[in-house]
Amino acid sequence: MKSARNIFLSALALSVITVSSCKKSTDDTGTGTTPGTVSTTSVVTAKYTSAVTIATSGGSITLRSNGTPAHVSPYWGVGNALYEAPSLPGQTTNPGIIGVQNYAMTIPTNPAEASTKEATTLGPIGMALNGVPIYNDREGGNVPVDAGVLTSMDRAGAHPGPGNTYHYHFTGDFTGNDDANLIGFLRDGFPIYARKDNDGSYPTNLDANGGHVGTTADFPTAIYHYHASNTAYMGSRFYVLKAGSYNGTKGTFTF
């Protein structure tokens, strides 16, 4: 009996060790990796608008929003105070509208580079400073945005998707474009900026995922950060916000 009990306890201990190990390796809040040396907490709390509620816990920050922008768009619908008639050449709006959502993005306070870079996927990959989700350069079917879909973008470089989930694919008139503005943070906790560096130049040393290490107006200590592409997408007025993989380990984004 004693021998059987010892065998059971040994098996239980091994099971706990195995579960703990698996939890650490699959933890998508970034806590399974060594934290980076630069904290983003003060910038996150200072730069996000009042439309976003912020809570910190341990080594993570949770951002909550309803995903609706405070700027004009045709997708508000006629009769809304923020409605703007389509004004871009060739613009054709899709059937969606700007809908109220229940978003929560959790990111590490000290983002760190991941040893293996995970590709971004369809859906929210980050949150702009006004609480609107950031998407990558792809659409349903995981194919690049084509010419037809491009015409559905409003002046913000955005449109609604299924469930009236309004989101940004590109730079636009209300977030950041041909400037060095901070646009938001991606799910791995790293900030994303518009097309220019803080000195007014266009960065020439971006890696394959659109980022580099350096100081910004918000971070006097060098930190990895992304930039929007500086190549006009399909010759349009729009510039892709983010393509490729995350530099760090992505946190959660629920809705």
188 and 70 in a single domain? The answer is yes
For residue 33, the model assigns a pLDDT of: 57
Q: What is the mean pLDDT of the chain?
A: 89
Contact (CB, 8 A) for 45 and 109: no
The DSSP bridge partners found for residue 73 are 83
pLDDT in tens, 145-202: 999 999 999 999 999 999 999 999 999 999 999 999 999 999 999 999 999 999 999 9
CA distance linking residue 221 with residue 138, whole number of Å:
33
pLDDT in tens, 192-225: 999 999 999 999 999 999 999 999 999 999 999 9
Contact (CB, 8 A) for 120 and 245: yes
69 and 53 in a single domain? The answer is yes
18 and 132 in a single domain? The answer is no
110 and 75 in a single domain? The answer is yes
Question: What band does 128 get if pLDDT is binned at 50, 70 and 90?
Answer: very high
Tell me the residue range of the domain where 198 lies: 31-254
16 and 42 in a single domain? The answer is no
pTM summary value: 0.87
8 and 77 in a single domain? The answer is no
CA distance linking residue 12 with residue 9, whole number of Å:
5
pLDDT in tens, 67-86: 999 999 999 999 999 999 99
246 and 175 in a single domain? The answer is yes
Number of domains in the chain: 2
103 and 207 in a single domain? The answer is yes
59 and 1 in a single domain? The answer is no
Closest among 67, 102, 133, 106 to 189, alpha carbons compared: 106
108 and 198 in a single domain? The answer is yes
Can you tell me which residue has the tokens 């021998």?
Answer: 3
Contact (CB, 8 A) for 242 and 125: yes
203 and 95 in a single domain? The answer is yes
Pairing of strands 103-108, 60-65: antiparallel
146 and 242 in a single domain? The answer is yes
